[in-house]
Structure 1
Amino acid sequence: MVSVYPLANPKGVRLLCELCQSPAFLQCPDCRVTYYCTPEHQLSDRESVHPALCHLLGPLRAPPPALCSDEERRRNTEQTAQLRRHLLQLCLEAAERHLGAGMPSQSLPAAMHSLRFSIALHGLRSSQLVPPYLLLAEASIRLGHLTQAEEYLGQARWTLLKNPDCSLGLLAKLHRNQGLLFSARGNLAEALAHLANDVYYNTCLYGTGNVHASPGCFHMANVFLRQKKAGIAESLYTEITDSWHAQLSRMLRRQLSAAQDQRASGPEDECLDKGLATEAVQILTEISEIRQGAPKREPGKLVRNLHAKAMLHLVLGDAARACELARKALLMAKDLPHQDEAGAIQAFLTMAESKLPICE
């Protein structure tokens, strides 16, 4: 995509940058309804989410057609709202995916778009604005923009105060971001209190031992590590790894059983959120790096971590990476005193290899 200067516009029309709302001078040459103040902002939007939106923005931003009947106007309004809902979902998924992959700078544009689409759909007081605010806050925290993050979190808290019937999931994410902000500012006691609330609300929502609480547990462990409480941190890292290992093993066993029985997946089968799975890969990778730098290395825990990451990659559709990690885990597992883990990894490797593309 090459930047081009926009055509002359009617008098009084002010073009605004898609990302920062500053006066814009560049135009997307494909959709021709998106403008940017600098090539850097255009590149940032393109790397974040614009290619997924480009072909849909033209119909959304085109001048409204001349409609005669109330039924035509009602139908046009509903079609526009449906398109905005679709764009909102695309932006939310992109922002979460980039955050889970450890790319906060690419998450920011998608999160900003999701906020604007949500405001257009639901107004300024709806609880539907909270997820975009929290995505913007988390990306800002990771980039070190703490003042901006605090503003986004303030907006999220104010919106939740106006909507006391909000979900436990939103409360959990709010406390997680508040915990991350306090941690970034060095207030570790307050950080732990908010992260504990994150784990509590996720436990209420999903039950004990569920992987949805693992991000909060991971951030708590990192705070304990900063407090020189390595034993507590290690116990949390172990709990996170074991919960992912157990849930993924159970899920893949059910999928294998269903395939052998030649029956379609039923509504009772587990479904793993891809954004959570992508974040889990990042979390397990960081846990592995922390353990490898510890004075005492425990091979059994490293093997389980590799096995869990291999299963995550298979769930995410990357069979080649899953096989690579499983082979590494199997090689390490052969030196363990108990061979139960090696047998489970070998069975998984056989399954993963069956999903590799056949090369002629």
Structure 2
Amino acid sequence: MAKENYEEARYHLANDIYFASCAFGTEDIRTSGGYFHLANIFYGLNKLDLADTLYTKVSEIWDKYLNNHYQVLLQARIQQIDLLGKQFETDTGLDEAQEAEAVRILTSILNIRESTSDKAPQKTVFVLKILVMLYYLMMNSSKAQEYATRAFSLAQEHQLSVHEQDTIQELLTLISAEEASPVTQ
């Protein structure tokens, strides 16, 4: 993209997406990077509707992946599966490079969403909630709390649904409880 050869970049990214989709499926986190880079190209070409669609797809893929891990963790805590009395370790299911990529991609999408948040604040809140789950599962409760607080403030400011505000409040409560008695590694 440095030389702004968008046609060639789109061609290569389309191939990357195709092959990743064949190998992992269209909704896999390993395919999301291709969608993200293609969205950046469309954003650079000022084709904002196409970019928005792809950024939304990337957000939805990461939300589904992280939410699955988050729900498993919550169920385990509720059912008190750990018979030894240890606190549960959180886990993203990602290696260090994948965690770094998730942070980079999602914070980039967040920056774009925040620059256009007046038009669609719910999209910004959605990405903030995904980042909350990511950082929570990475055991970085201060970052999770920061993003949850931002999401809650934005949801209140733009009068998003009570359900949305309650969901974010539940995340904040969970994170606060974790900070009071942190998870041990």
TM-score normalized by structure 1?
0.44
Percentage identity across paired residues of the two chains: 34
Kept after mapping to 2: 8 A contact 1:214/1:240: yes
Shift in alpha-carbon separation, 1:313–1:204, aligned structure 2, 3 A: same
Q: 2 CA distance for matches of 1:193 and 1:341?
A: 39
Which residue number corresponds to residue 167 of structure 1?
A: none
Shift in alpha-carbon separation, 1:323–1:212, aligned structure 2, 3 A: same
The structure 1 segments of at least 4 consecutive aligned residues displaced by more than 6 Å after TM superposition are none
1:184, CA displacement in angstroms?
A: 2.3
1:297, CA displacement in angstroms?
A: 2.9
Unaligned runs of 5+ in 1: 1-182
Kept after mapping to 2: 8 A contact 1:291/1:297: no
Question: Which structure's CA Rg is the greater one?
Answer: 1
Which residue number corresponds to residue 338 of structure 1?
A: 161
Q: 2 CA distance for matches of 1:352 and 1:308?
A: 14
Amino acid at match of 1:347: E
Which structure's relative contact order is higher, taking Cα pairs within 8 Å and 6+ residues apart? 2
Alpha-carbon RMSD across the aligned residues, in angstroms, is 2.3
Question: Counterpart of 1:185 in 2: which secondary structure?
Answer: coil
TM-score normalized by structure 2?
0.82
More helix, by proportion: 2
Alignment partner for residue 50 of structure 2, among 228, 232, 236?
232
Which residue number corresponds to residue 115 of structure 2?
A: 293
Q: 1 CA distance for matches of 2:73 and 2:114?
A: 33
Aligned length: 173
1:190, CA displacement in angstroms?
A: 1.1
Q: 1 CA distance for matches of 2:117 and 2:181?
A: 43
Q: Tell me, yes or no, if structure 1 residue 200 matches structure 2 residue 28.
A: no
Alignment partner for residue 243 of structure 1, among 49, 61, 66?
61
Unaligned runs of 5+ in 2: 83-90
Which residue number corresponds to residue 276 of structure 1?
A: 98
5 Å-filtered alignment, 1:1-360, equals 183-263=1-81, 271-294=93-116, 297-334=119-156, 335-356=158-179
Kept after mapping to 1: 8 A contact 2:122/2:160: no
Q: 2 CA distance for matches of 1:214 and 1:358?
A: 35
Shift in alpha-carbon separation, 1:309–1:337, aligned structure 2, 3 A: closer
Amino acid at match of 1:356: E
Question: Counterpart of 1:219 in 2: which secondary structure?
Answer: helix
CA deviations over 1:321-341 (Å, ceiling 9, x no partner): 101110111121123342222
Shift in alpha-carbon separation, 1:353–1:234, aligned structure 2, 3 A: same
Question: Counterpart of 1:355 in 2: which secondary structure?
Answer: helix
1:284, CA displacement in angstroms?
A: 1.7
